[in-house]
Amino acid sequence: MGSLLVIALILAALMTWRTLSAERRHRLAAERIMSELAAIVGEEIARRTIFEYEQFGFSLLRPLLARGLRDGRVPSAQDLRQHAALSVRQASALVDEVFVADFAARSVAPPLRSDLQQWILENLETVMAEREQFAVVRQIVRVSLRDGDHWIAYVRPIPGTRRMAGIVVRSAALTEYAQRALERRAPFPVTFGDRLSQRDVYLRIWRPSREILRTPGAFDPPMGRRFRFPDELGDVLGGATVECSISRRVVPAVIPGGIPRGGEAGPLAMLVGTICVLGAMLLVLRRARLLDRLRADFVAGVSHELRTPITQIRMFAETLMLSRLPSEAQRQRSLENIAREATRLSNLVENLLSFTRGERGTLHVVRTNHDVCAIVREAVASFTTLASHRNVCFHVEAPEECIASVDEDALRQIVLNLLDNAVKYGSSGQTIDVIVIPQDDAISVIVEDEGPGIPADERHRIWMKYYRLEQHRETHVAGSGIGLAVVRELVERHDGFCLAEAGSRGGTRFVVEIPWRRDE
Ligand code: ADP
């Protein structure tokens, strides 16, 4: 049975381990899917921003600038903002300034801030030429100056000519276009339908010099990805850093079953619970085994205890019947022996009866006023015959009279059991003290022997049913292990308590205390 429990424990541990590792794998896979989705969403927003920028911004202004350049009159920012076409007026939100650069004359009109103008004259022609050579359509350039990044959108209607028209892009425009790109529709693959929306995304795009877009909330690393936009996205967003994560709320819509909740606490709590249950079962099992063993000892002990007096009684009775004893004194002694063994038998039977009643819960005491000292003296007197063959004497110390409400038979049985043990386990020739002390709130009965004593750590166990000290289980001293259990039961029925302690003469002192209750 014990090994079955151990196997159950191992199986429970194995199952917990498997559950934990399956959960961990599931969680990692789910987080990976979510972070990949976040990367897709981040890149989608970048592409849309660039699309917005082109489609609703510069692509509407480009023809006007190109025509103006050819006609010799490029519209100013003011002209664009007041343009007849609504789409142009809207696109003019992109424009900070409009300028025309002449690389041959090395001039910019109207003049721009000097560092930007200088950069344009020194670099822009080369940039344009390279892009024209490789047919790169994007006509927007990022210019990094001391105060941060600036964007120049340009147009050169006839490649190779040395004049161009351009706009200095408003720095806030990028944020507005990115914002619009996000708001236009949910940035998720269409397969998710309308189950996911913009509110389920946290997004932040920035360059070291400035932040381009930031939505409310906080980045959730397991649910997202931080990466740099690839350079092929162009100068608008290429190289910018993006942080994008998806709300945990929408995980079930993306991954069937979602992410396992509760982490490791659930399976571990179950394992601990299983261990506790199995541990408790183990304890119960051990206790049941101990009780089994003790019960077997009990049966053997009782048989032994019964056999001894019965054999003695039969032997003396047969001798008497055959009239083999010559003298009257010998006959008298035989009769005394028969009486002694009969007393022992009846004590044992009384104990067995009280014990079984206690087990069934039918042991009751009926308390009426009695002289406790008289009952104790009487019990000692009835025991002298039994004790005499071990040369044991009794020293009784008790007041003349001491009336208390007790169950007479129960008290007698208590004292007889203690005396029986003192005689059985004490040395032969010893003196047993029996003391009755009336106190303020209780009456104490003390029985102290000169035996080997009981080890301190065993003193609380001897009151358990069937329990016997190891050394007595091994020896010929007959016993059933129920005497003290009966004593305790009877004392408790009197609301009292009993204990065993080291005696003053090396043996054991048993103390029984019964609270006063004098019936009127
Ligand atoms: P038993 O029938 O075995 O005497 P008890 O319940 O009366 O059963 O006692 C339980 C055990 O306590 C005994 O078996 C013995 O080992 C120990 N014991 C009881 N009284 C004494 C004593 N006076 N001295 C030493 N050991 C004792």
Please list the pLDDT of the chain residue by residue as tens digits (520 residues).
Answer: 667 878 888 888 888 888 888 888 888 888 899 999 999 999 999 999 989 888 888 889 999 999 999 998 999 999 999 999 999 999 999 999 999 999 999 999 999 999 999 999 999 999 999 988 887 778 899 999 988 889 999 998 888 889 999 999 998 888 999 999 888 888 888 888 778 888 899 999 998 888 999 999 999 999 999 999 988 888 888 889 999 999 988 888 888 777 766 566 777 888 888 888 888 888 898 888 888 887 887 787 788 778 888 988 998 888 888 877 678 888 888 888 888 888 888 888 888 898 888 888 888 889 999 999 999 999 999 888 778 878 899 999 999 999 999 999 999 999 999 999 999 898 889 999 999 999 989 999 999 999 999 999 999 999 998 888 888 877 777 788 889 999 999 999 999 999 999 999 889 999 999 998 765 4
Helix 328-360 to helix 483-493 angle, to the nearest 10 degrees?
A: 60
Which of 295, 354, 428, 462 best tests ligand 1's pocket when mutated (most atoms within 8 Å of CB)?
462
- 8-state DSSP, 134: T
Q: Does ligand 1 have an atom closer than 6 angstroms to the CB of 416?
A: no
User: Structure tokens of 195?
Assistant: 């189950």
CA 267 – CA 24 distance, rounded (Å):
12
| Centroid of ligand 1 to alpha carbon of 454 (angstroms) | 9
- 8-state DSSP, 56: I
The C-alpha angle with vertex 39 and arms to 35 and 43, in degrees rounded to 5, equals 165
Q: Does ligand 1 have an atom closer than 6 angstroms to the CB of 503?
A: no
| Centroid of ligand 1 to alpha carbon of 338 (angstroms) | 25
Q: What is the pLDDT of residue 219?
A: 94
The C-alpha angle with vertex 376 and arms to 373 and 380, in degrees rounded to 5, equals 135
Which is the closest atom of ligand 1 to the Cα of 480? Answer: 2
Closest Cα to atom 20 of ligand 1: 421
End-to-end CA separation in angstroms for the chain: 58
Q: Does ligand 1 have an atom closer than 6 angstroms to the CB of 481?
A: yes
Parallel/antiparallel/unpaired status of strands 442-448 and 148-155: unpaired
CA 263 – CA 255 distance, rounded (Å):
17
| Centroid of ligand 1 to alpha carbon of 382 (angstroms) | 20
- 8-state DSSP, 190: G
Please count the other Cβ atoms lying within 10 Å of the Cβ belonging to residue 221.
11
Alpha helices in 322-388 (DSSP H): 328-360, 372-388
| Centroid of ligand 1 to alpha carbon of 468 (angstroms) | 6
Alpha helices in 59-156 (DSSP H): 59-71, 77-81, 86-91, 114-119, 125-133
Q: What is the pLDDT of residue 519?
A: 56
Closest Cα to atom 13 of ligand 1: 468
| Centroid of ligand 1 to alpha carbon of 316 (angstroms) | 28
| Centroid of ligand 1 to alpha carbon of 415 (angstroms) | 14
Strand order in the sheet with 442-448: 393-397, 431-438, 442-448, 508-515, 497-502
Q: What is the pLDDT of residue 422?
A: 93
Which is the closest atom of ligand 1 to the Cα of 468? Answer: 14
Q: What is the pLDDT of residue 90?
A: 92
Q: What is the pLDDT of residue 196?
A: 84
Which of 405, 419, 373 has the alpha carbon at shortest distance from 495? 405
CA 88 – CA 79 distance, rounded (Å):
10
The dihedral of CA 228, 126, 150, 45: what is its sign? negative
Per-residue burial over 70-82, b if 16 or more Cβ lie within 10 Å, else e, is eeeebbebebbee
Whether the Cβ atoms of residue 110 and residue 168 lie closer than 8 Å to each other = no
Q: What is the pLDDT of residue 1?
A: 67
Q: At 484, which amino acid appears?
A: L
Q: Does ligand 1 have an atom closer than 6 angstroms to the CB of 486?
A: no
The C-alpha angle with vertex 93 and arms to 91 and 98, in degrees rounded to 5, equals 90
CA 310 – CA 7 distance, rounded (Å):
50
> What pTM, to 2 d.p., does this model score?
0.53
User: What are φ and ψ of residue 515, in 5° steps?
Assistant: -60, 145
Q: Does ligand 1 have an atom closer than 6 angstroms to the CB of 480?
A: yes
In sequence order, the β-bridge partners of residue 150 are: 143
Judged on CB neighbours under 10 Å (0-12, 13-18, 19+), 296 is exposed
